[in-house]
Chain A
């Protein structure tokens, strides 16, 4: 069974056909990169998996999105539960206006967990997983806004990890960061892979090449090509894919 699978997904924003019959699968503990020119539907596609598109008016979705074999748009599905299982990291670091500690604890608290010791352990382990612990262990009660952009983004990753999801969605998680912070995030993705299934949107071809096992190339709402990353980057079958990764357009 695939960890994630979409079958014939079509998505309309009002009259605009944003995703056109997307079929894609992702195995457990792999990293899949979504690439393609701006506006091709990468974010829209990514946001299917935690139903963030539900928040937008006038969105119509057809087809199936399966996580662990279950249709997440099915009637029995609790969106809150789904979002615990499928965590998300956004393009711009968006920590809450709270302390570093409370940022990480947030997901636990909103899920009704009050056990202080449990929360503390989880906060520490999540910060460790996000490779941030050493930098913040002395200022856990400081505002999250006091961190640098790169630290904030790792905090957001820690925050997502705290509820122990099995899938991690990342929408250009490093595009707002400096090269050093970017490479830290990339390293992090590498280590997280053994525990999580990761889907990452990126505009950076080198990054896609470095971090991902599979790559999907989107163009104007269609999935043009999907394959192992090394094949996409060395031997793409589609001419559009080739043009895009060699930088001839996009």
Chain B
């Protein structure tokens, strides 16, 4: 017993340790993929750029160096393929062997230019100024509103829409599932007769074992169309659909765990309350439920855990759009869905890969805080 407890604890600590070691790595690197450089003309006063600024430059949303603290000068954006706008094919050589030199040259010639190219093209006597890039900051990662990990030249790791998406979906799910689940549990444990209970309990337990893809399909063919029609949405795929689906998925767990807790309340508690002249409902609300509060908290925690961590089903019904959701009727995307969808295409060890680990850390922190909060609330309530 003690050994297995020890092994379990060590395993958990190791998982957390490695997750965070991988996840924190991203804050030690700039947002430009390794092996590439950003360079400007030597006369440029700008010393460094962060990932948002880079993106805005290349999206031509920032068009003047003044905005970035330089002198007033148009920005000329340069990618390697743009070289043909400046030089003929002969000048570059048959095998592009003069390309690096020409990049250096064009950069020196054009004062307002910013260039993005592989560092292998960096010649020895480079005539431009290679910009040192700012590392991705925690604030940018958490607060950034754009999640575009494959963007060139600078990947955009703004986790805010994903964090918000996760919160939305989980909050809807738990707000629906907790009262409903608790009500069902109270019915089963305190009101239903033995036959009903013995029939319903195993059925509900069975529901907990259905694979989540199946729930996902159910959501897609039932919940999504219903939402679309009732609220006249362009697409029923939305945070609300995800929340409802997750609530349905979390219900069996919440019901089973809290029903067990309610059922295990000693009869002495009920009798003591009834013997005081309390009604059955008063006894349930004031004695049985508070007495089972730790079990009910466990149920809530498991429910929240399922809601926050669920991947497939949510991916299927939320519309999978990594944008900041303005209402629960809009498509969104959660952290686990993002990890599941993108891990396959992210090169191992790359920036994107690390970013997904960081998302994992954020999810972990969110789940732990939700659990702590649930525990705190129930503790406060118990002595009321």
Known: A99-B383, A106-B286, A110-B282. Contact between A94 and B277, CB under 8 A?
no
The 8 A CB mask of B248-284 against A (1 = contact, 0 = none) is 0000000000000000001011111111111100100
Nearest B residue to A97 by beta-carbon distance? B291
On chain A, the residues within 8 Å of B279 by CB distance are 80, 110
For chain B, residues 348 to 384, give those with C-beta under 8 angstroms from any C-beta of chain A. 382-384
Known: A106-B276, A163-B277. Contact between A96 and B287, CB under 8 A?
yes
Nearest A residue to B272 by beta-carbon distance? A94
Interface of chain B, main secondary structure: helix
A110 with B276: CB separation less than 8 A: yes
Known: A94-B266, A94-B268, A97-B291. Contact between A83 and B286, CB under 8 A?
no
Known: A90-B268, A92-B268, A94-B268. Contact between A106 and B273, CB under 8 A?
yes
Nearest A residue to B278 by beta-carbon distance? A110
For chain A, residues 50 to 99, give those with C-beta under 8 angstroms from any C-beta of chain B. 50, 52, 55, 80-84, 87-88, 90, 92, 94, 96-99
Rounded to whole angstroms, the CA-CA distance of A111 and B269 in the bound complex is 18
On chain B, the residues within 8 Å of A35 by CB distance are none
Partner of A83, one of B275, B287, B290, B384: B275
On chain B, the residues within 8 Å of A94 by CB distance are 266, 268-269, 271-272
* Distance (whole angstroms) from the CB of A152 to the closest CB of chain B: 11
On chain A, the residues within 8 Å of B278 by CB distance are 80, 106-107, 110
B286 with A110: CB separation less than 8 A: yes
* Distance (whole angstroms) from the CB of A192 to the closest CB of chain B: 17
The 8 A CB mask of B291-326 against A (1 = contact, 0 = none) is 101000000000000000000000000000000000
A83 with B277: CB separation less than 8 A: yes
For chain B, residues 144 to 173, give those with C-beta under 8 angstroms from any C-beta of chain A. none
The answer to the question of A159 belonging to the interface, with a C-beta cut-off of 8 Å to chain B, is: yes
Instruction: Name, among B271, B276, B382, the residue most crowded by chain A CB atoms within 10 Å (CB to CB).
Output: B276
On chain B, the residues within 8 Å of A163 by CB distance are 276-277
Rounded to whole angstroms, the CA-CA distance of A92 and B271 in the bound complex is 12
* Distance (whole angstroms) from the CB of A165 to the closest CB of chain B: 9
* Distance (whole angstroms) from the CB of A177 to the closest CB of chain B: 16
Known: A90-B268, A90-B271, A106-B286. Contact between A98 and B277, CB under 8 A?
no
A55 with B274: CB separation less than 8 A: yes
How many chain B residues touch A (CB < 8 A): the figure is 22
Chain A contact-residue range equals 20 to 34
Rounded to whole angstroms, the CA-CA distance of A107 and B383 in the bound complex is 17
Rounded to whole angstroms, the CA-CA distance of A145 and B293 in the bound complex is 15
B271 with A97: CB separation less than 8 A: no
On chain A, the residues within 8 Å of B275 by CB distance are 50, 52, 83, 87-88, 90, 160
Rounded to whole angstroms, the CA-CA distance of A81 and B266 in the bound complex is 24
* Distance (whole angstroms) from the CB of B264 to the closest CB of chain A: 13
Partner of B277, one of A84, A96, A97: A84
On chain B, the residues within 8 Å of A159 by CB distance are 272, 276
Rounded to whole angstroms, the CA-CA distance of A67 and B293 in the bound complex is 38
Partner of B290, one of A80, A97, A107: A97
On chain B, the residues within 8 Å of A156 by CB distance are 272
Rounded to whole angstroms, the CA-CA distance of A174 and B278 in the bound complex is 25
The answer to the question of A44 belonging to the interface, with a C-beta cut-off of 8 Å to chain B, is: no
* Distance (whole angstroms) from the CB of A216 to the closest CB of chain B: 21
Rounded to whole angstroms, the CA-CA distance of A83 and B276 in the bound complex is 6
Rounded to whole angstroms, the CA-CA distance of A143 and B379 in the bound complex is 12
For chain B, residues 92 to 151, give those with C-beta under 8 angstroms from any C-beta of chain A. none
B276 with A81: CB separation less than 8 A: no
On chain B, the residues within 8 Å of A160 by CB distance are 275-276
On chain A, the residues within 8 Å of B382 by CB distance are 97
On chain A, the residues within 8 Å of B269 by CB distance are 94, 96-97
Nearest B residue to A92 by beta-carbon distance? B268
Nearest B residue to A144 by beta-carbon distance? B383
* Distance (whole angstroms) from the CB of A72 to the closest CB of chain B: 13
On chain B, the residues within 8 Å of A84 by CB distance are 276-277
The 8 A CB mask of A82-126 against B (1 = contact, 0 = none) is 111001101010101111001000110111000000000000000
B268 with A81: CB separation less than 8 A: no
On chain B, the residues within 8 Å of A82 by CB distance are 277
On chain B, the residues within 8 Å of A81 by CB distance are 277
* Distance (whole angstroms) from the CB of A200 to the closest CB of chain B: 15
The 8 A CB mask of B210-223 against A (1 = contact, 0 = none) is 00000000000000
Rounded to whole angstroms, the CA-CA distance of A33 and B290 in the bound complex is 35
A96 with B272: CB separation less than 8 A: yes
Rounded to whole angstroms, the CA-CA distance of A232 and B306 in the bound complex is 66
The 8 A CB mask of B78-101 against A (1 = contact, 0 = none) is 000000000000000000000000
Rounded to whole angstroms, the CA-CA distance of A206 and B223 in the bound complex is 71
7 extra interface residue pairs, beta carbon distance < 8 Å, beyond A96-B291, A99-B383? A81-B277, A83-B277, A90-B275, A96-B269, A102-B384, A110-B278, A163-B276
Interchain Cβ contacts under 8 Å between A and B, 24 examples: A50-B275, A52-B275, A55-B270, A55-B271, A80-B279, A82-B277, A83-B274, A83-B276, A87-B275, A90-B272, A94-B272, A96-B290, A97-B293, A98-B384, A106-B273, A106-B276, A107-B276, A107-B278, A110-B276, A110-B282, A141-B383, A143-B383, A159-B276, A163-B277
The 9 A-B residue pairs with the shortest CB-CB distance, nearest first, are A110-B278, A94-B268, A83-B277, A107-B276, A88-B275, A84-B277, A80-B277, A110-B282, A94-B272
